[in-house]
Amino acid sequence: MRNKFETLARYGYLARGVVYFLLGAIALSSVFWGMGQTPSSEGAFSTILGQPFGRVLLAAIALGLFGHVLWRLAQAVLNADHHDKDFKGYVVRLGNLAAGLTNTALALLAARLAIGAGSGGGASGEAGFASWLLEQPFGKWLLGIVGLAVVAAGCAQVWRGVKGQYRKRVRLPAEHSTILNFVCGFGLSARGLLIAIIGGFFLYAAFTVQADQAGGLTEALDWVHQLPFGTALYAVAAIGLLAFGAYSCLEARYRNVDASQPAALKQAAKSVAG
């Protein structure tokens, strides 16, 4: 029987899947239908707002993303996935923490747009974060470390997709395993490559000491578009985002979510704090 925290965690995966599916659809439509809309989180949320009951739907997405943040924190801080207490295990948990922080910004953006408060203005998330890091002591080196970490996280996700390591925690139905495994592996690999490109932007920003050289998913897709055969590669990347959205939805249904009862979570949190 599921407890409320497990339900919230699964709802979070579903919300993330919807966001990435919309990002992929926007990117793909710009290739085949020339709609010209830039694939971005704000663009995806604006698409939701344009639907009937858009604000209600976007508020539901925001709630789901906050649920995903809580689950990521449980993975990182409380070791909900029971990783070994070794270097590899701590690296994975650190990656979960970084994902939680990223999704916090995404959830806040969705919530602001849902209540009609706008996106908040200012520099883009990646450039703003890079600028803040550069202002810190040894900021150039900190930004470089972040860039290396993001590149490593992207490569690790590609590896998970290619080698099918997600199968350790996602139990797909056997009767559809061939096609579903292809979708999951392709989605993870495509998103991993885009994440690695984003990490490269952060490394370049550190090298040049220019925060505006940092970029996110939109800039990564633009960079792919400028490569030789860029339109074809851009279309493949867009389909990859669609596949990752589908993978996230499959996680919502089939992932092993070892969510403790609230009392156990509170006790674990106290032990960590203490």
Amino acid 146: pLDDT:
86
Query: Using one digit for the tens of pLDDT, what is the confidence trace for 105-138?
Result: 888 888 888 887 665 544 456 788 888 889 988 8
Burial class for 225, CB neighbours closer than 10 Å (0-12, 13-18, 19+): middle
The domain locations on the chain are 4-273
Query: Structure pTM?
Result: 0.85
Distance from C-alpha of 249 to C-alpha of 16, rounded to nearest angstrom:
8
Distance from C-alpha of 225 to C-alpha of 235, rounded to nearest angstrom:
9
Q: Are 224 and 238 in contact (CB under 8 A)?
A: no
pLDDT at 265 over 80: no
The string of DSSP letters for 166-229 reads GGGTB---GGGHHHHHHHHHHHHHHHHHHHHHHHHHHHHHHHHT-GGG---HHHHHHHHHTSTT
Q: Rounded to the nearest 5°, which phi and psi values hold at 255?
A: -70, 145
Q: What angle do CA 47, 52, 58 make, to 5 degrees?
A: 55
User: What is the rounded average pLDDT of the residues 31-44?
Assistant: 70
The residue type of 21 is F
Amino acid 273: pLDDT:
46
pLDDT band at 38 (very low <50, low <70, confident <90, very high): low
Q: What value does the mean pLDDT of the chain take?
A: 84
Query: Using one digit for the tens of pLDDT, what is the confidence trace for 147-205?
Result: 888 888 889 889 999 999 899 889 898 888 899 999 999 999 999 999 999 999 999 99
Query: Using one digit for the tens of pLDDT, what is the confidence trace for 238-248?
Result: 999 999 999 99
Terminal-residue alpha carbon distance, the chain: 31
